[in-house]
């Protein structure tokens, strides 16, 4: 029986390794400086994913600017301020929000931003990603704040510090590394999101940093190329995937390395 | 006059902050507003999706869920094929991934030596870090051809007499969608089951062993103890599978038909939204798609809520950490 459970584990690990090696093997050939900096071109003319990389970065910046502060505040509320039933309800809602399908978030943002603005935009894409970030950041922040010993808070309060200064000056700095890793994981998670961007950020074939216009992203580009009938675009999809996976796995492994001692 | 306002002000201030510090009052109000924002987001989601789908709800009512035909050209929208595809693909995924996840969790918590359990646990969790669209890409070029060549033909030969394994073998369809979902939810279910098993007090294990139980009988005791939490983990996986979009969209074949065969193409709610949303011409079409989104939202909200309550009960009661995302 032990061998059976070991086999389950082995299969899961080999699935991971097969997928990762296949991506590396298929993707490495098409990677070049030109590919990483060029815009997409028609079939047969090469082209690259430069604008998609830039677009993904813009989307991550917008979503982090909105999602990280809000998420951390919600986490502080849950760990430091909220008590009783209302806090329990908020915690339940935050937990349940993490399970809402990202495509539904996309539809929601479409109805509140894209319809009133009458066009797709980087802003809408960033807001959609931020909505996915908030509950993840909130929960990790709460967990990290709970690890801060009570004696620290009591010591600061005993010295006469008001609660807000205890939170800002003592508790948050003590938990900062943990909160930072939580934030990084949230960024890694949303950088792989495709569904909520399909009809918010939409996609673009040009370099753009304007929040008011549609913007390209690595994931949507991968999707469009993957379902196209052209071999050349398939190869580019694999190469773009290699870039995306380097980012996502890189963050995950760095976080793991940083938190090694604590778990 | 000013004394009265001063008094009112200070009573307000005391209510907001027991310490009577103005900074604390501001701090508490800001935090409370942020918490209210979370509640407001959920309410806004329901409200926005409901308003936007009102046209479709008015026109079709409950027959939206019973209708078989999805014909945008004639303006006829029935969601049953999508509901079927969503539920069927998720069930296939659970059928495959639950035994695997249990095996992985038992191995990592009860059997593997400590120095092995941590790195391997991390590798399994990394499966959850791979983006959905990457699973889809890999599925199109690796999994689907593999199933078409090596798995589906023998299945059709041996089990072709059942209605489940018939029809044209393309590599794309309900079965392929279910298998990719299984790979995607396995790390999620196994991570939560790991937390649940770790939360079972070791006194239970010691008691079983002291009574002369073998290692496997002891593990059964642990599983029974963690049963509600394990059920929660499975339901959590179900919630994830129901809403998973990109990988399924790329592999399930995207045809709104209900067919008994697992080889045939199918369609899920999430895939329909992903594929047709930007192409929806006409208000009614868009409204019907938003209604699909509303249904998916409500179903996953309820499913996740149930799962959370089950998992919380186990990990809280025994004082576990419950760090599962």
**For B160-181, what is each residue's pLDDT tens digit?**
888 899 888 999 999 999 999 9
Minimum distance, in Å, between the CA of residue A209 and any CA atom of chain B: 22
> How high is the pLDDT of residue B97?
97
Model confidence pLDDT, tens digit, residues A15-42: 999 999 999 999 999 899 999 999 999 9
**Helices (H) and strands (E) in chain B — how many of each?**
16, 2
Question: Rounded to 5 degrees, what are φ and ψ at A47?
Answer: 90, 170
* Among A66-70, A125-129, A244-248, A259-263, the least confident range: A259-263
Spell out which residues of chain A touch residue B37, defining contact as CB-CB under 8 Å. Answer: 70, 74
Per-position DSSP letters for chain A, written without gaps between them: -HHHHHHHHHHHHHHHHHHHHHHHHHHGGG--HHHHHSPB--TTS-B--HHHHHHHHHHHHHHHHHHHHHHHHHHHIIIII--HHHHHHHHHHHHHHTTS-HHHHHHHHIIIIIHHHTS--HHHHHHHHHHHHHHHHHHHHHHHHHHS-HHHHHHHHHTT--HHHIIIIIIHHHHHHHHHHHHHHHHHHHHT--GGGTTTT---SS----TTS----HHHHHHHHHTSS-HHHHHHHHHHHHHHHHHHHHHHHHHHHHTTTT-
Residue to substitute from A2, A107, A260, interface B, most B β-carbons within 10 A:
A107
Higher pLDDT, residue A82 or B317? A82
CA-atom Rg of chain B in angstroms: 25
3-state SS assignment for residue B230: helix
Does A150 fall in a domain?
A: yes
Nearest to A56 by CA among A234, A231, A248, A239: A248
Burial class (CB in 10 A: 0-12, 13-18, 19+), A116: exposed
Q: Which residues of B touch A143 (CB under 8 A)?
A: 321, 323
Hey, is the C-beta of A252 within 8 angstroms of any chain B C-beta?
Answer: yes
Predicted confidence band of residue B322 (pLDDT cuts 50, 70, 90): very low
C-alpha closest to that of B182 among B103, B254, B248: B248
Residue B117: list chain A partners with CB under 8 A. none
Whether residues B44 and A108 touch (CB distance < 8 A) is answered with yes
User: Does the ipTM exceed 0.90?
Assistant: yes
Query: Using one digit for the tens of pLDDT, what is the confidence trace for A174-230?
Result: 999 899 989 999 999 999 999 999 999 999 999 999 999 999 999 999 999 999 999
Q: Which A-chain residues 28-47 have CB contacts (< 8 A) with chain B?
A: none
Q: Structure pTM?
A: 0.92
pLDDT of residue A259: 76
> What local confidence, expressed as pLDDT, does residue B298 receive?
95
Tens digit of each residue's pLDDT (9 = 90 or more) over A85-120:
899 999 999 988 898 999 999 999 999 999 999 999
Residue B12 has pLDDT above 90, yes or no: no
Domain ranges of chain B: 2-52, 62-317
How many domains in chain A?
Answer: 1
Q: How confident is the model at residue B4 (pLDDT cuts 50, 70, 90)?
A: very low
Query: In 3-state terms, what secondary structure has residue B253?
Result: strand
Residues A191, A185: Cα–Cα separation, whole Å: 10
Window A:76-95, CB contacts with B under 8 Å: 76-78, 80-82, 86-87, 89-90, 92-95
Three-state SS sequence of A17-48: HHHHHHHHHHHHHHCCHHHHHCCECCCCCCEC
B137:A222 CB<8 A = yes
Strands B70-71, B76-77: pairing is antiparallel
Q: What is the chain A residue with the closest CA to B43?
A: A93
> Given this model, what pLDDT does residue B319 score?
44
CB A135 within 8 A of CB A95: yes
| Chain A CB contacts of B245 below 8 Å | 101-103, 194-195
What is the DSSP secondary structure assignment for residue B46, as one 8-state letter?
H
- Can you name the CATH fold of B62-317? MetI-like fold (1.10.3720)
When the pLDDT of each residue in chain A is averaged and rounded to a whole number, the result is: 93
Which residues in chain B touch residue A80, judged by CB atoms under 8 angstroms apart? 31
B211 phi, psi to nearest 5 deg: -80, 5
In the predicted structure, residue B2 carries a pLDDT above the cut 50? no
Nearest to A99 among B45, B240, B246 (CB): B240
Size of interface A-B (CB pairs under 8 A): 248
Q: Which residue has the higher pLDDT, A1 or B187?
A: B187
At residue B8, does pLDDT exceed 70? no
Higher pLDDT, B141 or B21: B141
Is the predicted pLDDT of residue B318 greater than 80, yes or no?
no
pLDDT (0 to 100) of residue B25: 85
Chain-wide mean pLDDT for chain B? 89
A258 pLDDT band (50/70/90 cuts)? confident
- CB-nearest to A82 from B35, B190, B250 is B35
**Model pLDDT, residue B320:** 41
Are A5 and B103 inside 8 Å of each other by CB? Answer: yes
Nearest to B67 by CA among B51, B53, B56: B56
Cα–Cα distance between A139 and A141 in angstroms, integer? 5
Instruction: Identify the pLDDT of residue A100.
Output: 93
pLDDT value for B17: 61
pLDDT at B19: 63
The beta-carbon neighbor of A163 closest among B27, B130, B305 is B27
Contact B156, B163 (CB under 8 A): no
Q: Which residue has the higher pLDDT, B322 or B11?
A: B11
Could you identify the residue written with the tokens 């595809």?
B85
Report CB contact under 8 Å: A101, B243.
yes
CATH for A164: 1.10.3720.10
Q: Supply the DSSP symbol for B272.
A: H
Structure token pair of residue A196: 């909520």
- Out of A22, A93, A104, the one facing B138 most closely (by C-beta) is A22
Query: Which residues, in sequence order, are CB contacts of A154 under 8 Å at separation 6+?
Result: none
Residue ranges making up the domain that contains A199 = 49-218
Q: Which of A6, A15, A99 shows the shortest C-beta gap to B183?
A: A15
Picking from A89, A97, A103, the nearest residue to B245 by CB comes out as A103
B9 pLDDT above the threshold of 70:
no
Reply yes or no on whether the pLDDT at A169 is more than 90: yes
């Amino acid at each position: 029986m032990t061998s059976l459970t070991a086999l389950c584990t082995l299969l899961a690990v080999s699935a991971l390794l097969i997928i990762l090696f296949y991506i590396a093997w298929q993707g490495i050939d098409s990677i070049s400086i030109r590919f990483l900096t060029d815009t997409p071109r028609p079939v047969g003319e090469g082209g690259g994913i430069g604008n998609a990389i830039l677009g993904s970065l813009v989307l991550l910046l917008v979503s982090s600017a909105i999602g990280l502060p809000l998420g951390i505040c919600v986490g502080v509320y849950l760990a430091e301020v909220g008590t009783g039933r209302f806090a329990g309800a908020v915690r339940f809602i935050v937990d349940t929000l993490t399970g809402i399908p990202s495509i539904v978030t996309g539809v929601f943002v479409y109805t509140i931003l894209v319809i009133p603005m009458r066009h797709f935009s980087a802003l809408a894409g960033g807001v959609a990603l931020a909505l996915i970030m908030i509950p993840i950041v909130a929960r990790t922040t709460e967990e990290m704040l709970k690890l801060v010993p009570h004696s620290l808070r009591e010591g600061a309060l005993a010295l006469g510090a008001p609660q807000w200064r205890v939170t800002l000056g003592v508790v948050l700095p003590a938990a900062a590394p943990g909160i930072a890793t939580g934030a990084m994981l949230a960024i890694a998670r949303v950088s792989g999101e495709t569904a909520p961007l399909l009809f918010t950020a939409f996609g673009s074939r040009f370099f753009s940093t304007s929040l008011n216009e549609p913007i390209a992203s690595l994931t949507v580009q991968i999707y469009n190329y993957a379902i196209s009938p052209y071999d050349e675009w398939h190869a580019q999809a694999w190469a773009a995937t290699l870039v995306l996976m380097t980012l996502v796995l890189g963050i995950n492994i760095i976080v793991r390395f940083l938190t090694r001692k604590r778990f | 006059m000013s004394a009265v306002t001063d008094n009112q002000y200070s009573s307000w201030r005391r209510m907001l902050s027991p310490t009577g510090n103005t900074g604390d009052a501001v701090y508490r109000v800001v935090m409370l507003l942020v918490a209210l924002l979370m509640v407001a987001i959920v309410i806004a989601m329901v409200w926005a999706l409901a308003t936007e789908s009102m046209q479709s709800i008015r026109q079709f009512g409950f027959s939206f869920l019973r209708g078989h035909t999805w014909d945008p050209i004639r303006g006829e929208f029935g969601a049953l094929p999508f509901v079927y595809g969503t539920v069927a693909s998720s069930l296939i995924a659970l059928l495959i991934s639950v035994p695997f996840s249990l095996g992985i969790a038992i191995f990592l918590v009860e059997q593997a030596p400590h120095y092995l359990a941590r790195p391997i646990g991390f590798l399994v969790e990394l499966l959850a870090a791979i983006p959905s669209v990457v699973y889809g890409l890999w599925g199109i070029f690796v999994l689907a051809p593999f199933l078409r060549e090596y798995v589906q033909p023998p299945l059709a030969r041996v089990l072709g007499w059942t209605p489940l394994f018939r029809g044209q073998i393309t590599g794309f369809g309900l079965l392929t969608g279910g298998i990719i979902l299984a790979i995607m939810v396995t790390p999620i279910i196994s991570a939560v089951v790991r937390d649940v098993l770790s939360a079972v007090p070791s006194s239970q294990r010691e008691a079983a062993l002291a009574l002369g139980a073998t290692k496997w009988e002891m593990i059964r005791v642990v599983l029974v103890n963690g049963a509600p939490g394990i059920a929660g983990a499975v339901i959590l996986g179900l919630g994830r599978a129901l809403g998973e979009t990109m990988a399924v969209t790329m592999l399930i074949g995207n045809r709104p038909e209900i067919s008994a065969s697992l080889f045939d193409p199918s369609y899920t709610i999430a895939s329909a939204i992903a594929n047709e949303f930007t192409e929806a011409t006409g208000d009614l079409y868009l409204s019907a798609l938003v209604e699909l989104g509303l249904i998916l939202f409500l179903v996953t909200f309820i499913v996740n809520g149930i799962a959370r309550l089950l998992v919380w009960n186990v990990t809280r009661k025994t004082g576990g950490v419950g760090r599962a995302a």
